[in-house]
Amino acid sequence: MDDDSEINDDEFFDYDHKFFDRSPFPDECQNEVVGIESFYLCFTRRYSACPVFFMGSLHEACQEAFSSPVIKEHRPVLVYIHNDKKIIIEYLLENYIVWPWDITFESNRNRLIQIWEEMFSIQFLDILSVKSCPMLIGIMRRSAGEKGWSLISEYEFKLLFKDNTLIRIQEKSGRETFLRELIIFKEECDDNEQLLSSDFITKTGLCLDIILDIAKYLTLNDAVKTFSDKILILLRKYKTKVHISYSSDTFIKMILRKIDPEQIVSLRLNPIRLRSMISSPLLNFTNVISLILLDLQTMNQIKACEAYFPNLTSLSLWTNNEIDFNIFSRELNQLRSSIRRFEIRCAEIRCTHSFIYHSNKAYTPNLTIENFLFDVSHATLPSINDCLEHYKSCFLTTTIDLIKYMANIRYVHLIINKWNFKQLLHFKEWTRLVNECRQLKKITLKVMGNIEQDQELIEDIVKIQKDLYNVRQSIKFQVIFV
């Protein structure tokens, strides 16, 4: 028999149907202890065994679960809501305190609604229907910094299982998947207890919203350095999107034990590390939309990486190696069609102005890139003496020769240092770009480093703006000094 087959009571027990004549809970049961004792006896008679049910009120069950001074002994509460027409037979892990309730009778259903309102100050009518049973609900202590209804209650709950369906993954439950769901909630409860015991949020001096907001703008590596690894518990709980820089296999393995891989939306890694990172079949990179590749050696590495990220929309290449734009011009059309943003950050540019490159071959343009960022703020640019054809604007000409193969480009952003800035002030090249790229809307030049006021420089910038306006009035040419 398949270990992960759908749970079927009849596979495990040959029960005596005479016991079905008696409901597990007496009608109009107002005493929780009496009802649970009745439920326990009925359950034991039918199946000759029974999970250990907590004999007391739901409030007492929660107090018992979290009362131990030893944090590791804290356990989540599992509420089992039963209907006599459907019975789930799965012995629960001893890591839980199990509190059962039967709603076969309308009176007992109403009593549970009353208990729920007393515990959580919230109604439970939306899911408490006979058709939804059996149901399992996990209870843990209220998370630090939690907002909403749980501020009124000391505890919070999470629906795990309803109508033979696991809520988190919306799949019918098999024995293995059901057990896995119990383990996951137990881990969430353990993490929450650690967070509460360490008083993590109070020690930071920041409210929860601020902590999560700051984390959005940091790589996960920096977030851990800033807040400690306790931040991972919060990020997982609130399903916060994360950005990871692949610093080491050890760090990544630790991270992937603490968060859901589907939370990862951005990755920064060396292509040669990708193989070790994707070695686990459990990893899922379908939510990664931004990829930064470090120290790229060949264009083939881009293709190899793209295969693992089907929803990629942004690709950034960071390298200390020399960049040959002639190769990029040839390969641009091979990039995944979903990529809308393309970035290059490099330390050296190769001059492509020689008879070797000038074969007058027209490459197939890329039709999907709309946003291009080129960062050469730390680069060594070819000068007029380095240029094989001695072009005064060698760097700018080379750059525009690449951009023109982005047929639908809308935004161009160049970052350069103040020493090389003047190499960008050649109005004929910018006019050529605007004429080549009909969808282009805005060109931004970001200059790193203060430049003393230079009237000639200002006049050059104004001239470019006017010339481009004459070509197409909608075009914007902006220079920002940082």
Can you give the CATH number for the domain in which 148 is found?
Answer: 3.40.30.10
Handedness of CA 217, 222, 226, 227 (dihedral sign): positive
The amino acid occupying position 266 is S
Task: Compute the average pLDDT of residues 404-415.
Answer: 96
Beta strands in 271-410 (DSSP E): 290-294, 314-323, 341-349, 371-375
Residue 354 has pLDDT above 50, yes or no: yes
Q: How many domains does the chain have?
A: 2
- The least confident of 86-95, 138-147, 159-168 is 86-95
Residues 45, 179, single domain; the answer is yes
% of the chain residues with pLDDT over 70: 75
Reduced to 3 states, what is the DSSP secondary structure of residue 196?
helix
Contact 414, 444 (CB under 8 A): yes
In terms of Cβ atoms closer than 10 Å to its own Cβ (0-12, 13-18, 19+), residue 168 is middle
Residues 110-150 have pLDDT tens digits of 888 888 888 877 776 555 565 677 788 888 887 755 554 44
Instruction: Specify whether 322 is located in the same domain as 192.
Output: no
- Is residue 194 located within the same domain as residue 341? no
Q: What was the pLDDT predicted at 340?
A: 96
217 inside domain? no
Q: Residue 316: what pLDDT? A: 94
Cβ(208)–Cβ(235) below 8 Å = no
Q: Which of 35-39, 276-280, 358-362 is least confident? A: 358-362
pLDDT at 426 over 50: yes
How many Cα atoms are found within 13 Å in the side-chain-facing hemisphere of 347?
7
The pLDDT mean for the chain works out to 77
pLDDT bracket for residue 12 (50, 70, 90): very low
Q: Is residue 49 part of a domain?
A: yes
Helix axes 427-436, 455-471, angle to 10 degrees: 20
Mean pLDDT score, 4-21: 40
Q: What is the pLDDT of residue 467?
A: 93
Give the per-residue pLDDT at 27.
Answer: 64
H or E segment to which residue 426 belongs? none
86: in domain:
yes
CA pair distance 80, 88, nearest whole angstrom = 10
Instruction: Answer with the one of 131, 166, 198 that is the final residue of a domain.
Output: 198
Strand order across the 476-481 sheet: 242-245, 264-269, 290-294, 314-323, 341-349, 371-375, 411-417, 442-448, 476-481
Q: What pLDDT sits at residue 352? A: 67
Q: Is residue 385 situated within a structural domain?
A: yes
User: What whole-number distance in Å separates Cα of residue 333 and Cα of residue 240?
Assistant: 34
The pLDDT score that the predictor gives to residue 21 is 46
In sequence order, what are the beta bridge partners of 372? 342, 412
Question: Is residue 191 domain-shared with residue 318, that is, in the same domain?
Answer: no
* For residue 164, pLDDT beyond 80: no
Collapsed DSSP state (helix, strand, coil) of residue 280: coil
422 located within any domain: yes
- Statement to judge: residues 15 and 156 lie in one domain: yes
What pLDDT sits at residue 215?
87
286: in domain: no
Q: Do 328 and 466 lie in a common domain?
A: yes
Assess whether 323 and 184 both reside in one domain: no
Same domain, 14 and 151: yes
The pLDDT of residue 461: 92
pTM for the model stands at: 0.64
Burial of 97 (0-12, 13-18, 19+ CB in 10 A): buried
* Domain span holding position 26: 9-198
Rg (CA), the chain: 32
Asked if residue 425 belongs to a domain, the reply is yes
Residue 337 has pLDDT above 80, yes or no: yes
| pLDDT, position 187 | 82
Instruction: Give the Cα separation of 189 and 185 in Å (integer).
Output: 6
pLDDT at res. 390: 61
Average pLDDT over residues 265-272: 86
Query: Rounded to whole angstroms, what are the CA distances from 4 to 10, 50, 224, 284, 411?
Result: 16, 22, 37, 21, 52
Asked if 347 and 473 sit in the same domain, the reply is yes
| Residue reference for tokens 């843990």 | 140
Which of 198, 223, 248 is a domain's end point? 198
Question: Which of 109-118, 199-208, 351-360, 407-416 tops mean pLDDT?
Answer: 407-416
Question: Would you state the pLDDT for residue 280?
Answer: 53
342 CB burial (10 A radius; 0-12, 13-18, 19+): buried
Q: For 50-57, what is the mean pLDDT?
A: 74
Instruction: Work out the average pLDDT over 264-293.
Output: 77
Q: Is residue 268 part of a domain?
A: no
Average pLDDT over residues 192-218: 78
Residue 20 predicted with pLDDT over 60? no
- Select from 168, 198, 228 the last residue of a domain: 198
